[in-house]
Structure 1
Amino acid sequence: MELTNVIKSPILTEKTDKLRSNKNKPVFTFKVDYAANKYQIKEAVETIFNVKVESVNTIKVGKKPKSVGRFHGFTNRYKKAMVTLVDGSELNYLPNDNKSEKLEADDKEKLAKKEMNAKKTSDVEAKVAQKLATKKAVATKTASAKKPTVTKRKVGGE
């Protein structure tokens, strides 16, 4: 069997992500060809990803009954391989999976956002202070303004 046909796809779930993030012994999970054995899987992972494999565990996942509306059928059976790497080995099968670069970019974005927020808040505070000052000035002008005189109505023969 060709090494390129052994590994079908990575299995990306919350559980496999947790296993993959283990620093000491990361475990990567793949869907593999149903007829592939552990030695072929190990050789394929080592040649394709240029890493050292410590162990390979395989599981045959059977078909499950599924129904969509009135149609009944089964999911396909497949073989799952859990590949444990040697200490210090890293395998990036996700594009742009450089964590350090991602963290640095995130930190820069957060700093830029904080600076923008601080600038916006200072601008808003300045505008509010200016509005309050103009309101006070207008209020004092109206308070000191001359009240209109009330004329008495002359009724009758006064």
Structure 2
Amino acid sequence: MSERIGLYPGTFDPITLGHADIIRRGAKLVDRLIVGVTTNPSKDPMFSPAERVEMVRAEVARLGIENVDVEGFNALLVKWAQRKQATVLIRGLRAVADFEYEYQMAGMNQQLDPAVETVFLMADVSLQPIASRLVKEIALLGGDIAPFVSPEVREQIVDRVQKLGRRGDY
């Protein structure tokens, strides 16, 4: 029997506790989970692709999950899934707005490759409001992001905000 490989793609700018929750739970559904760190041209990243890959690798290491790898990619998701021999795409959902977008993407991916199945995981109730975009905004405006990211990621965000010349009460 072949290994069931899943992909969990995202920009992870930065990786949040919500992402970590989906990684932890998604890893239980497949033999091997590849967290794919990509670039979204419609988003304004705070961290470079290499920094995000390293940040996600560090978080996965802290989670202590053996069957998770982290890789950067910059390709059509279905093509990348084919290259990795993945048959499952893991997607996290927080709200109805997420579902509408993700449902459309799942349909397009199914049209491109019917062998790749999308699995939606609902975010833990306590983590549903967390979005990387909001975490960055809160940090840039001097708010406390400790409830949304690990202490290690928080430190990296605070350092970046300070390098950008923003002042906040941390």
Q: Which has the higher contact order (CA 8 A, sep 6+)?
A: 2
Q: TM-score range by the shorter chain?
A: under 0.3
Higher strand share: 1
TM-score by length of 1: 0.25
Give the number of the structure whose alpha-carbon radius of gyration is greater. 1
